[in-house]
Amino acid sequence: MAKSAKDDKFSDYLLLYFPLLLVFILDRLTKSLVISSLELGTSTPYFGGLFSLSLAYNRGVAFGIFSQHSDIVVLFISIILLVGLLSIHSIPRRYYLPFGLVLGGAFGNVFDRFLYPQGVVDFISVPYFSIFNVADIAITVGIIGLIISLFLAETRSAVSHKRKRSSLKK
């Protein structure tokens, strides 16, 4: 039995909005747990110091950059999120999952900016690296996924174009 247009639309929404909501909910839950169980500036190591949980706040964006301009950052990110949501259904389906991860993470961090005057809640600390959160992980994985999807699409397009050219020569 063939899939209907309604089934395709539902699977598209699921592919996009499920990761977005899952990331947002996991981000909120983990940040709430950390805020309720850790003191600011304390650190609890796990797995022999492989990583630790440490409550910190970040007013900047990735790795604390632009922390002196947090109001402009919030405005800029909010505009990007709005544009992203309004244009989401005009992008190819293969980008829905990674884009959903990016949007879910971005919503999680923007939500913090409105909820906490101190900034975004960060709590995962890895030695010799910056402190981050679940939303940051989702954004990073989503961006890597978008890059891989773009690369694969370009590769497929180039192969297809090469095949068409070689078939025309015959």
* Catalytic status, residue 8: no
Catalytic residue among 7, 12, 112, 136: 136
- Of the residues 7, 12, 27, 122, only one is catalytic, namely 122
DSSP string of 2-50, one letter each residue: PPPHHHHHHHHHHHHHHHHHHHHHHHHHHHHHHHHH--BT-EEEETTTT
For residues 38 and 30, the answer to whether their CB atoms sit within 8 Å is no
Asked if 7 is an active-site residue, the reply is: no
Strand pairing category for 131-132 and 120-125: antiparallel
Question: Known catalytic residues?
Answer: 122, 136
